[in-house]
Amino acid sequence: MNDLSMYLAIGIILFVFGLIAVMTSKNLVKILMGVELILNAAGLNFVAFTRFTTTNLDGQIAALFIIVVAASEAAVALAIILNFYRQRRAIDVDLADSLRG
């Protein structure tokens, strides 16, 4: 029961949920959460492929880089969202026609 196809199925489910959140949401925070789900799905797939196909640590290193990118992306995106909220008093994507003040 602990084989590669189970991990890939979980990765696909995470990716699809993230993609649905990004494509259908108008809330910036929900879009950010969807992007995080997509990055987590990619990290899970890297680790699963490394665990079941090779003995080196390439997948774990790639997953570590994904975690670092996701953390920095979350920090920058939350700063942009807070700045946007201060200017527009809303976090609706339809109001984000330009980032200039």
pLDDT by residue (tens digit) across 53-87? Answer: 877 888 889 899 999 999 999 999 889 888 888 88
- Report field, pTM of the whole predicted structure over 0.75: yes
Which pLDDT score is estimated for 98? Answer: 65
Give per-residue pLDDT as tens, 30-58. 999 999 999 999 999 999 988 888 778 88
- Amino acid making up residue 46: F
Cross-strand pairs, 90: none
Share of the chain above pLDDT 70, in %: 95
CA 79 to centroid of chain Cα atoms: 17
Q: What three-state secondary structure class fits 92?
A: strand
Q: How many Cβ atoms sit within 10 Å of the Cβ of residue 17? A: 15
Residue 36 near residue 70, CB atoms below 8 Å = yes
Domain ranges of the chain: 4-89
Topology given in CATH for the domain delimited by 4-89:
Helix Hairpins (1.10.287)
Which pLDDT score is estimated for 75? Answer: 92
